[in-house]
Amino acid sequence: MNARRLLPHYAMVLPFALLFAAFFLYPIISGFYYSFHEWNAATEPRFIGLANYEAVLQSRDFARAMTNLCIYIVITVPLGIAVALALALLVDSFTGFWANFFRSAFFLPVVLPAFLAATIWRWMYAPNFGLVNMILGWFGVPSINFLNDTGTMLYALIAVDVWVSAGFNMVILLAGLKNIPQDLYEAARLDGASRLQQVRYVTIPMLAPVLFFVVTYGFISALQVFDVPWLLTGSSFTAYGGRRSALMFPVMDMMGRAFGAVRFGEATAYGFILTFVIILFTALMFGFRAWRTPK
Amino acid sequence: MISSMCRALMAATATLIGTGAVSAQELQYWVYSDFAQGDALKLQQEFIAEFEAANPGVKIVISGRGDDDLTSGQIAGAASGTLPDVFMNGLNVGAQLVEVGALANIYPEWMAMPQEFRDQFDADAVKSCSPKPETMYCIPYTGFGEIMYRNLTVLEAAGIDTATPPATWEEWLQQMKKVKESGKSAIPDQTQVFNSVASMFAVAGDKAQWGIDFDRKQTLIQPEAATRALQTFIDMKPLQSGTSRNDQGTKDLFITNQLAFHVVGPWVNPSYEQAAKESGLKYDYVLVPGGKAGDHGGVKSYEFVGVAPGKNREIAWKFAAYITEKKQMARWAKLLSRYNANAAAMQDPEVSALPLIVKSVEAVKQAMDVTPPYFVGTVPNCYRSIMTDTASAVADGEYDAAEGAKELIAELNDCLAK
């Protein structure tokens, strides 16, 4: 009787469950299986134990990709959120036309296709006549080869990524700002709090849940960085990461192993290592949040 | 009323099913995206229409894809049984496609063709498709040999006589130094792209050593030739623009008379030709100088047409043979003014009158293959990155040329061993 009563509910969930199983669960399970096999997608897989994981972890490119990723995350995530918060506070201080104008203007890079954003920045970063070098030239700074000088490449990428992601984070933070009761600010003002103190003691604590989401999402996105560095360096499956692999990241390396070197087993192992890192990181974030939340 | 509508619907369905029963044998034909747009697409569609007319019941569906999409689609197609029937790709990924079973061995079909057909093709290009006896994985199709574009305004301003192109690396280097002294950039950064590193190896190294022994898992490059090639990157370091040869910025520098030399394939010529018409760019193209007079550097490679194994193989081969045949390739060459692997088409009077093709034919004869041997083993990605990284490291002063050569060979062998 109970089962019959629940049948319509299961029936309604079934289409999603089937699609989820076919396009999500099955690839994950089969990928996990192939990560222990030598497999080129066409021949019979051959079991090799943990050799794929060893090959990935011991490779020069993995070490480079992870080093680049660490530096990238440490700078991009806090910087991106700081910029987004500043933009959100700026937009929040406007009303009417200007609020809409700035919100749209700052959100524009988010809706721009990645290839277009990368193309625009490639032009802006061009040595000698690119916009950035032109402006630097006005101040007597010699031309910088942003996308080919290994000392500047990573920072050039970070600037693009902050530009792209700030608008998205700004909209989320702005929604959080709108939910902060105005009487808290009023009380703070009556207590003599300056604007900065209001941000420090009212805005940021009240935004904590939204900031947690933005930070977690920012970390997860940063761990999967792929399209912008791929496009900025004009990468392909056989050559990627730019000059001296200064913009090589794990997802790029994984794609190269799969479609450039036809080592799908190794690529899936790479994917699981990366997934493990992302899960670990997300768990740490949630653990930290639980620890900080008053019981 | 309802029953008459039902009858009409059933009749329509029956007609559709009936049509399906005698429907065309459909061939999927994948090409590079630039073959599927503008005039190139129109000509491809003409070839298709002619073939369909001559083979009733056959329908060809052309689909243009970017380089990476083409390769990943063919690899995934081989794994899932959804390979296109006829497709293009580059020789440099041939081994990967053989490894996943995407390419049929067309040797029997090739040998069944009249000698006259087989003799049309460039012998070296055919050899590239045939890694061992009684094996042939492709028909060579379009291709390139690198040429050197010269900005005559920049060279003249530097006091260089442009009537005679530099014959050797030494002469070329002296000209580059003069250009730099005149305040312009001489050449793009040749360390950034694998092909431009290869190009310099062809100039100053040893063309016979550029390759891999897949049986022994060792590079063929020897220290002396590598030292000479790496020294060129040190010599060029103060003279270069900082952009790679493939950057739009490089073309812009050349067009705006800020860059003297650009060593690359014929595909940039339309941009320079347009700039010559619109902004008065004065340029020409010559063969890339070699280590000694009479020899020439630069690299060459081909795109090929492959046929998938499977039930459509016979008609797919027929179509592949049709589009690569002299008549079609001559039309192709005339339309785009571009070299291709059909040597007979290159000798067509209308084709051989085109200056870019004449220079390309000469260039291909002397140029070095980019990643030989083809269809034998997959060149690991680390092989390419070690090559460009070492060239950069030497140019940046981390090693001298001899140390760099030693390091390069050790790392390449290590990469191949893995």
A and B: number of Cβ contacts within 8 A? 103
pLDDT digits (tens, 9 = 90+) for A115-126: 899 989 988 998
pLDDT higher than threshold 80 for residue A48? yes
List the single residue in B with minimal CA-CA distance to A254: B381
Say if the Cβ atoms of B72 and A145 lie within 8 Å.
no
Paired sense of beta strands B218-219 and B212-213, if any:
antiparallel
* Residue A85 located in a structural domain: yes
Per-residue pLDDT, B22: 44
Of A54-63, B19-28, B160-169, B232-241, the one with minimum mean pLDDT is B19-28
Pairwise CA distance, residues B365 & B320, whole Å: 25
Per-residue pLDDT, B70: 94
Say if the Cβ atoms of B381 and A244 lie within 8 Å.
no
> How distant is the Cα of B258 from the closest Cα of chain A, in angstroms?
10
Q: What is the mean pLDDT of residues B32-41?
A: 93
Where residue B1 falls among pLDDT bands split at 50, 70, 90?
very low
Are A147 and A156 in contact by the 8 Å Cβ rule? The answer is: yes
Say if the Cβ atoms of B382 and A259 lie within 8 Å.
no
Backbone dihedral region for residue B342 (phi beyond 0: left; psi -120 to 50: alpha; all else: beta): beta
Q: CB contact, 8 Å: B165 with chain A? A: no
Say if the Cβ atoms of A40 and B392 lie within 8 Å.
no
* Residue A17 located in a structural domain: no
Per-residue pLDDT, A239: 87
pLDDT digits (tens, 9 = 90+) for B215-224: 999 999 999 9
Where residue A244 falls among pLDDT bands split at 50, 70, 90?
confident
Chain B interface test: which of A235, A244, A257 (most B C-beta within 10 Å): A244
List the single residue in A with minimal CA-CA distance to B251: A126
* Residue A33 located in a structural domain: no
Per-residue pLDDT, B242: 85
pLDDT higher than threshold 80 for residue B94? yes
Of chain A, the percentage scoring pLDDT greater than 90 comes to 68
Q: CB contact, 8 Å: B416 with chain A? A: no
Q: CB contact, 8 Å: A249 with chain B? A: no
Q: CB contact, 8 Å: B391 with chain A? A: no
Binding-face residues of B in 269-328 toward A, CB within 8 A: none
Chain A interface test: which of B70, B192, B197 (most A C-beta within 10 Å): B192
Q: What is the mean pLDDT of residues B20-25?
A: 58
pLDDT digits (tens, 9 = 90+) for A50-63: 999 999 999 988 99
pLDDT digits (tens, 9 = 90+) for A67-109: 999 999 999 999 999 999 999 999 988 888 888 898 888 888 8
What does each C-alpha distance from B24 to A270, B20, B60, B329 come to in angstroms? 44, 8, 9, 26
> Comparing B13-137+301-366 with B147-298+374-417, is the CATH topology the same?
yes
pLDDT higher than threshold 50 for residue A168? yes
Pairwise CA distance, residues B164 & B287, whole Å: 11
Backbone dihedral region for residue A128 (phi beyond 0: left; psi -120 to 50: alpha; all else: beta): left
* Residue A22 located in a structural domain: no
Where residue A150 falls among pLDDT bands split at 50, 70, 90?
confident
Listed ranges A196-205, A244-253, B76-85, B316-325; the one with the highest mean pLDDT:
B316-325
Q: Share the mean pLDDT of chain B.
A: 92
Closest partner CB to A237 (pick from B68, B194, B252): B68
Residue B234, CB half-sphere, CA atoms under 13 Å: how many? 17
Closest partner CB to B252 (pick from A129, A150, A241): A129
Q: Where are the domains of chain B?
A: 13-137+301-366, 147-298+374-417
Per-residue pLDDT, A285: 87
Provide, as residue numbers in chain B, all residues whose Cβ is less than 8 Å from the Cβ of A30.
Answer: none
Number of H helices, E strands in chain A: 14, 2
Query: Exposure string (b/e) for A84-110, b if CB count within 10 Å is 16 or more?
Result: bbebbbebbeeeeeeeeebbeebbebb
* Residue A92 located in a structural domain: yes
Pairwise CA distance, residues B180 & A147, whole Å: 22
* Residue A39 located in a structural domain: no
Q: Tell me the sheet residues that pair with B369.
A: B300
Q: Which CATH superfamily is domain B13-137+301-366 in?
A: Periplasmic binding protein-like II (3.40.190.10)
Token pair of B334 as six digits: 């005339």
Per-residue pLDDT, B23: 57
Where residue A268 falls among pLDDT bands split at 50, 70, 90?
very high
Say if the Cβ atoms of A130 and B93 lie within 8 Å.
no
Q: CB contact, 8 Å: B92 with chain A? A: yes
Chain B interface test: which of A128, A147, A240, A253 (most B C-beta within 10 Å): A128
Paired sense of beta strands B86-90 and B25-32, if any:
parallel
Say if the Cβ atoms of B192 and A241 lie within 8 Å.
no
Q: Which CATH superfamily is domain B147-298+374-417 in?
A: Periplasmic binding protein-like II (3.40.190.10)
Domain count, chain A: 1
> How distant is the Cα of B338 from the closest Cα of chain A, in angstroms?
24
Q: CB contact, 8 Å: B382 with chain A? A: yes
Per-residue pLDDT, A1: 55
* Residue A53 located in a structural domain: no
Pairwise CA distance, residues B393 & B372, whole Å: 25
pLDDT higher than threshold 50 for residue B4? no
pLDDT higher than threshold 60 for residue B11? no
Identify the CATH number of the domain in which residue A81 sits. 1.10.3720.10
Q: What is the mean pLDDT of residues B396-403?
A: 94
**Domain span at A248:** 60-292
